[in-house]
Amino acid sequence: MISLCLDFGNTRFKAALFDGDHLEKTTVLGNEPAKDIEGIIEKFRPEYSILSSVVNHPEEVEKILKTKTKFHKLSNESKLPFSIPVGKPETVGADRLAIAAASVFLFPSKNNLAIGLGSCITFNFINQEHQLLGGSISPGMEMRFRAMHQFTALLPMAEADWNVPLIGYDTKTNLQSGVVLGMASEIDGIIELYRERYGNFNALLTGGDLGIFEPHLKNKIFADPDLIFKGLYAISQINHA
């Protein structure tokens, strides 16, 4: 049984194909996501599909998925492997629901802090009673580099690099050190705050910038670039059962 999982974020539209429980393939969609999705469906013939979207995506995307697959759009009204005892569960982003589901699926007996590295950093805490209690959001790496460039007169637009010095020796490396090592320290610090409060604790990390930050983190984490897709697949199984 082939399942198509789609993650539409602020920066990229991504797709993954599962054959049974096995993740077979991931890809980044182009500027015409509906056309790309049609091509994937024609080639691989998925029976099921699920979409996580935090943007205003083309309406045609859902029409294609509804017509050619058994489709589910992820929201707080989906059947989930956890509850959301917060004031406004409808405000929790679909991407956060997906990584929360993955953490419960992979570590069901733990207090899990699932961290997503995307346009923003999202910290998502799911306790061992399988309750998504919330967390925090802060600017992501690209947003920090771009903000320093756009809101100053002379600072250039620096590019990310995992191999950054602690002490920058020019403007570029000063910016890289501030963003990369600053974010790594932020992630470590938040993890420590949760670890001090909760026993039986586990931290998970995912996102496109994973490889840049993982070498700089002091805390032991479970790192998986495909965590959102694994969460989407688990939610798809529940809602298509």
Q: Which residues are catalytic?
A: 95
End-to-end CA distance of the chain: 13
Q: To 10 degrees, what angle do helices 94-106 and 227-239 make?
A: 90
Report in angstroms the alpha-carbon separations of 124 from 95, 100, 116, 128.
10, 7, 8, 13
Where are the extended beta strands (E) located within 65-144?
A: 70-73, 111-117, 120-126, 132-139
| Vertex 110: Cα angle to 97 and 19 (nearest 5) | 55
The CB density around residue 14, as the number of other CB atoms within 10 Å, is 20
What's the token pair of residue 88?
């406004």
